Structure 1
């Protein structure tokens, strides 16, 4: 991997609710190299969005360290963090709620530039026009309002808003989950093209493993706020090492008509963060759990070059995915 642009170490996030401590994230560590796209996958409630917002300090981590291009972000003063913001941008999940209905598209796209005091008004509007062109929207959209656009077009506007500040890192939080299936592929292809053209580094959050396989170089599998597995995309999809990863992948429809894939249905619901299981947090739903799984949380360890898993067992016959 190239030198990390983003380095996260032992990131944790806790909330207090009615006298109970909710552990949303615990000891999350990973790197993202410059120009790399890393996928973050897991069921709803696994903590994916909290990681995305924590690394940009949109929410404050409870513990741990986040370094961006060698700069320690945790602990930066508000003014120092504000100066870092143009280099790190966020694409929100909901293209309807994330755009103000009272602002023109030009005002939406130039708001960040204005806050950062970048350029004159004319220069900011020119940047907005360039960003619209980059996402394949006409320049005249700059004087219109968000309600005049479809969901897919609104998400393109959200992407353009991030691009106006010429960021190096983008956190894309479920960027197509709110869109019609017919539009999702268009937006995913746009993001992939922009990443390649601009050399963007991206943390791509999704529950859709087929989309993640298409766009990501590496994948992080998350369960109940803990990392279960990290591997290169091709390796993870061909040779998943963790029972949870294998269960997730078994649910992806196969494009091979003749292939037979055994569906592995997880029993029960994801546990509450207020009362996580002892030891391995996945053990209450794992078909391969043994008594030792409840005694200590497994460490994330390298089981093949660049392939890491958090599981004490090496004797599970996972085999290769069909």
Structure 2
């Protein structure tokens, strides 16, 4: 019997060495990140730029190698797969890139872009690959005649739909969506998020959705993981996180989200300063240099994730912070 957990990440860490011929420090992009994604659910990684979200996503999709930790996909440790086994895995794990302009080749027709992965994986006959490409296009509400056109002939929102269709063409079990709406106009963002939600429900997709804006993931994610400077600050079911955030960083992020509901309007909590460099992170709690509730013990050690309510974890030593 298949496990309910499709993806399991344990202690995932990524350190980038100094640039060649440089004596600079190691860049600690991700530190000891762990989470699991049940089949058919959406888990979202959120946080400011520089928090390590994309690095986690790329390690999950095996686009870059982790420094430490493990990634288990459908019960198999992916960091130990052979090249042939990795190619098969890539058919089951697809990536939607942030920039719809840079991620599509200007020299290839949309049909060639959509069938490229099918060709590499040797799926069916040429006619069958064409049929799957057309089906992927129509699933994202684009006409079949788009197959003969080039990326520059489409708007930004349409290009992102093509990027989604490319991921869907191989019928993956897991999709890593790396800030797929951040480069789009606000009105188009809602359309793409709604499309992803519809596809996820209709196809039973499992998804790791990466975003810096908590407003984008509220109605899409089942579980939200808040990252800061490569470390997990808070993990909770989506409704629970939005109703009662436990970590000061999450509260600050949520206070910046506009809400049409006046009963949910929280006082704005501005974060002081900029996010520190991952090449020189603060000691102890990495958020302490910007935290309005930081005390001396916060510098002493890295706080562990503690369960504050069923399924709701936070990495903070303070239990006396008002979370209303």
Is TM (by shorter chain) over 0.5?
A: yes
| 2:10 corresponds to | 9
Summarize the alignment of residues 120-131 of structure 1 with structure 2, pairs less than 5 Å apart. Answer: 120-131=125-136
Consecutive aligned runs of 4 or more in structure 1 exceeding 4 Å deviation:
257-260
1:255 equivalent to 2:260? Answer yes
| 1:294 corresponds to | 299
| 1:137 corresponds to | 142
Aligned-partner Cα distance in 2 for 1:126–1:117: 14
| 1:167 corresponds to | 172
Aligned partner of residue 140 in structure 1, secondary structure: helix
1:60 equivalent to 2:65? Answer yes
Q: Which whole-Å deviations, capped at 9, do the CAs of 1:88-108 have from their partners, x for residues lacking one?
A: 000001111000011011100
Structure 2 residue corresponding to 1:278, chosen from 263, 266, 283: 283
Structure 2 residue corresponding to 1:233, chosen from 235, 238, 245: 238
* Offset, 1:258: 6.7
Note if contact 1:38-1:219 (Cα within 8 Å) is conserved in structure 2: yes
State TM-score, norm by structure 1: 0.97
| 1:71 corresponds to | 76
- After TM superposition, the structure 1 stretch with the greater mean CA deviation from structure 2, 255-264 or 30-39, is 255-264
* Offset, 1:317: 1.7
* Offset, 1:260: 4.6
Structure 1 residue corresponding to 2:123, chosen from 108, 118, 126: 118
- After TM superposition, the structure 1 stretch with the greater mean CA deviation from structure 2, 251-260 or 61-70, is 251-260
- After TM superposition, the structure 1 stretch with the greater mean CA deviation from structure 2, 73-82 or 292-301, is 73-82
Q: How many residues align?
A: 318
Aligned-partner Cα distance in 2 for 1:103–1:214: 35
Aligned-partner Cα distance in 2 for 1:260–1:203: 28
Note if contact 1:298-1:311 (Cα within 8 Å) is conserved in structure 2: yes
Please, what is the CA RMSD of the aligned residues?
1.1
Aligned-partner Cα distance in 2 for 1:270–1:156: 32
* Offset, 1:207: 1.0
Unaligned runs of 5+ in 2: none
Aligned-partner Cα distance in 2 for 1:173–1:133: 22
Aligned-partner Cα distance in 1 for 2:151–2:274: 38
| 2:193 corresponds to | 188
| 2:85 corresponds to | 80
